[in-house]
Structure 1
Amino acid sequence: MTTTRFAPSPTGYIHVGNLRTALMNYLIARKAGGTFILRIDDTDPERSKEEYVDAIKQDLEWLGLHWDRVERQSDRLDRYAEAADKLREIGRFYEAFETPTELDLKRKKQLNMGKPPVYDRAALSLSEAEKEALRAERGNGVWRFKLDHERIEWNDGILGDISIDAASVSDPVLIRGDGQVLYTIASVVDDTEMGVTDVVRGSDHVTNTATQIQIIEALGGTCPRFAHHSLLTGPQGEALSKRLGTLALRDLREQGVQPMALLSLMARLGSSDPVELRADMSELIDGFDIGRFGAAPTKFDVQDLFPLTAKHLQSLPLADVSEAVADAGVPADLAEPFWTMARENITTLGDLKAWWDLCRDGAEPLIDDEDRAFIAEAMDLLPDGPFDGDTWGTWTKAVKEATGRKGKGLFMPLRKALTGMERGPEMATLLPLLQVIRARG
Structure 2
Amino acid sequence: MTVTTRFAPSPTGFLHVGNLRTALFNHLIAKKAGGQFILRLDDTDPERSKQEYADAIQEDLEWLGITWDRIERQSDRLDRYSEAADQLRAVGRFYEAWETPTELDLKRKKQLNMGLPPVYDRAALNLSADEQARMRAERGAGVWRFKLDQERIEWEDGILGPLSIDAGSVSDPVLIRADGQVLYTLASVVDDIDMGVTHVVRGSDHVTNTATQIQIMAALGAGHPSFAHHSLLTGPQGEALSKRLGTLSLRDLRAAGIAPMALLSLMARLGSSQPVVLAGSLEELADGFDLSQFGSAPTKFDENDLYPLTARILQETPLAAVAAEIAALGVPDQLAADFWNVARANITTKADLAPWWALFRDGAAPAVEAEDREFIMQAFGMLPDPPYDGETWANWTNAVKEATGRKGKTLFMPLRKAVTGQDKGPEMADVMRLLQKKPAL
- The verdict on a shared fold, with TM-score over 0.5 as the criterion, is yes
The aligned counterpart of 1:29 is 30
Alignment-mate amino acid for residue 192 of structure 1: I
The aligned counterpart of 1:394 is 395
In 2, Cα distance between equivalents of 1:285 and 1:217: 32
The aligned counterpart of 2:68 is 67
In 2, Cα distance between equivalents of 1:379 and 1:244: 51
The aligned counterpart of 1:135 is 136
Pair 1:55 & 2:62 matched: no
The aligned counterpart of 2:91 is 90
In 2, Cα distance between equivalents of 1:423 and 1:120: 70
Residue 147 of structure 1: how far off its partner (Å): 0.7
Deviation sequence 1:23-59 (CA, Å, 0-9, x none): 1101111111111100000011111101110000000
Alignment-mate amino acid for residue 387 of structure 1: Y
Q: Is residue 37–residue 67 contact of structure 1 (8 Å, CA) maintained in 2?
A: yes
In 2, Cα distance between equivalents of 1:130 and 1:331: 83
The aligned counterpart of 2:343 is 342
The aligned counterpart of 1:206 is 207
The aligned counterpart of 1:304 is 305
Pair 1:331 & 2:351 matched: no
Q: Is residue 384–residue 438 contact of structure 2 (8 Å, CA) maintained in 1?
A: no
Deviation sequence 1:246-278 (CA, Å, 0-9, x none): 211111111111111111111111111122222
In 1, Cα distance between equivalents of 2:368 and 2:211: 70
In 2, Cα distance between equivalents of 1:282 and 1:193: 28
The aligned counterpart of 1:273 is 274
1:177 match: secondary structure: coil
In 1, Cα distance between equivalents of 2:255 and 2:92: 53
Residue 332 of structure 1: how far off its partner (Å): 2.4
Residue 403 of structure 1: how far off its partner (Å): 3.8
The aligned counterpart of 1:415 is 416
Q: Is residue 387–residue 435 contact of structure 2 (8 Å, CA) maintained in 1?
A: no
1:178 match: secondary structure: coil
Q: Return 5+ residue gaps in structure 1 as ranges.
A: none
2:149 match: secondary structure: coil
2:223 match: secondary structure: coil
Deviation sequence 1:277-321 (CA, Å, 0-9, x none): 222222211211111111111111122222222222111111112
Q: CA separation of 1:159/1:166 partners in 2, compared to 1, >3 Å: closer, same or farther?
A: same
Residue 401 of structure 1: how far off its partner (Å): 4.2
Residue 323 of structure 1: how far off its partner (Å): 2.6
1:267 match: secondary structure: helix
Alignment-mate amino acid for residue 122 of structure 2: R
Residue 381 of structure 1: how far off its partner (Å): 4.3
The aligned counterpart of 1:289 is 290
The aligned counterpart of 1:233 is 234
Identity %: 73
In 1, Cα distance between equivalents of 2:357 and 2:228: 49
Q: Is residue 329–residue 353 contact of structure 1 (8 Å, CA) maintained in 2?
A: no
Q: Which moved more, 1:46-55 or 1:418-427?
A: 418-427
Alignment-mate amino acid for residue 81 of structure 2: Y
Q: Is residue 310–residue 348 contact of structure 2 (8 Å, CA) maintained in 1?
A: yes
The alignment's TM-score, normalised by the length of structure 1, stands at 0.96
2:269 match: secondary structure: coil
The aligned counterpart of 1:185 is 186
Pair 1:251 & 2:247 matched: no
In 2, Cα distance between equivalents of 1:438 and 1:326: 23
Aligned length: 438
In 2, Cα distance between equivalents of 1:244 and 1:375: 49
In 2, Cα distance between equivalents of 1:228 and 1:323: 43
In 1, Cα distance between equivalents of 2:139 and 2:91: 26
Alignment-mate amino acid for residue 170 of structure 1: S
In 1, Cα distance between equivalents of 2:101 and 2:121: 14
Residue 235 of structure 1: how far off its partner (Å): 1.3
**Residues 141-152 of structure 1 mapped to structure 2, 5 A cutoff:** 141-152=142-153
Q: Is residue 36–residue 69 contact of structure 1 (8 Å, CA) maintained in 2?
A: yes
In 2, Cα distance between equivalents of 1:48 and 1:167: 34
In 1, Cα distance between equivalents of 2:321 and 2:421: 30
Q: Is residue 144–residue 175 contact of structure 2 (8 Å, CA) maintained in 1?
A: yes
Alignment-mate amino acid for residue 283 of structure 2: S
Residue 373 of structure 1: how far off its partner (Å): 4.2
Residue 376 of structure 1: how far off its partner (Å): 4.0
The aligned counterpart of 2:375 is 374
Pair 1:5 & 2:3 matched: no
2:227 match: secondary structure: strand
In 1, Cα distance between equivalents of 2:354 and 2:385: 27
2:68 match: secondary structure: coil
Q: Return 5+ residue gaps in structure 2 as ranges.
A: none
Alignment-mate amino acid for residue 347 of structure 1: T
Q: Is residue 360–residue 438 contact of structure 1 (8 Å, CA) maintained in 2?
A: no
Q: Is residue 10–residue 50 contact of structure 1 (8 Å, CA) maintained in 2?
A: yes
Residue 344 of structure 1: how far off its partner (Å): 1.4
The alignment's TM-score, normalised by the length of structure 2, stands at 0.96
Alignment-mate amino acid for residue 29 of structure 1: A
In 2, Cα distance between equivalents of 1:385 and 1:115: 84
Residue 396 of structure 1: how far off its partner (Å): 2.7
In 2, Cα distance between equivalents of 1:186 and 1:262: 31
Q: Is residue 94–residue 147 contact of structure 2 (8 Å, CA) maintained in 1?
A: yes
Q: Which moved more, 1:30-39 or 1:329-338?
A: 329-338
Residue 109 of structure 1: how far off its partner (Å): 0.9
In 1, Cα distance between equivalents of 2:210 and 2:391: 67
In 2, Cα distance between equivalents of 1:101 and 1:343: 61
In 2, Cα distance between equivalents of 1:191 and 1:438: 68
In 2, Cα distance between equivalents of 1:420 and 1:243: 35
In 1, Cα distance between equivalents of 2:199 and 2:376: 68
Q: Which moved more, 1:92-101 or 1:242-251?
A: 242-251
